[in-house]
Amino acid sequence: MAEQTSYQLPDLPYDYKALEPVISAEIMELHYTKHHKGYVTNLNTALEKYHEAETKNDVAQMIALQQAIKFNGGGHINHSIFWTILAPIAKGGGGMPKGELAKMIERDFSSFDAFKEKFNAATTAIQGSGWGWLGYNKGQKRLEIAICSNQDPLSTQGLVPILGVDVWEHAYYLQYKNVRADYVKAIWQIFHWKHIEERFNKAIGS
């Protein structure tokens, strides 16, 4: 049987206060050390139980654990992407994409501004907790805006995640209160387009 590996909380690529004024240090610290860490811990616990059930051939228990694996595994995957697609304003955050990604955004959404508007509308309108995504559809070779509930990873919709925005209340409420639209609008100031372009280039190349 394969050796069980446990998942680790990845390092944050910047300080808690680095994304201010768009995202406060208080939100960042709680989001990273409590929420993301919680998904990692709970994923490892669920996987441990899963492997235990596997060794006992307890299929019912293996099935019962799938929701916890999906939720916490999705949370780990999503947040691991989220930290890297953001950057401090002074260190590459904001602006616009370049190269092939910029071209495909123009082709699929008619303009960068139209993409931004459509993305913000869809993401702001998510009911309850979830994520707004720009994803790449490999089969049709096109970009799509998609929304996911809870921590469902974008791969469940057959898309490769290019950039995503967490709209769980824990991601913005301490700073933006109930006005999710302001948070979604503000986050464009810290999108790390250079890294997002790398994600896109990898998605179209593989």
Residues that bind Mn ion (CB under 5 A): 35, 166, 168, 171
Least distance CB 144 / Mn ion (angstroms)? 22
Q: Report residue 172 as tokens.
A: 């913005």
Give the residue with the Cβ less far from Mn ion, 152 or 166: 166
**Residue 149, C-beta contacts closer than 8 angstroms, at least 6 positions apart:** 126, 128, 129, 130
Give the residue with the Cβ less far from Mn ion, 86 or 171: 171
Least distance CB 183 / Mn ion (angstroms)? 12
Least distance CB 85 / Mn ion (angstroms)? 13
Give the residue with the Cβ less far from Mn ion, 39 or 193: 39
Counting every residue written for the chain, the total comes to 206
Which sign, positive or negative, has the C-alpha torsion 79, 146, 91, 176?
negative
Q: Report residue 40 as tokens.
A: 């990692």
Least distance CB 125 / Mn ion (angstroms)? 18
Give the residue with the Cβ less far from Mn ion, 19 or 171: 171
Least distance CB 79 / Mn ion (angstroms)? 6
Measured CA distances, 59 to 26, 62, 98, 157 (Å): 42, 5, 49, 26
Give the residue with the Cβ less far from Mn ion, 109 or 131: 131
Q: Nearest-CA neighbor of 126 among 155, 146, 143, 153? A: 146
Q: What is the number of the residue whose Cβ is closest to Mn ion? A: 166
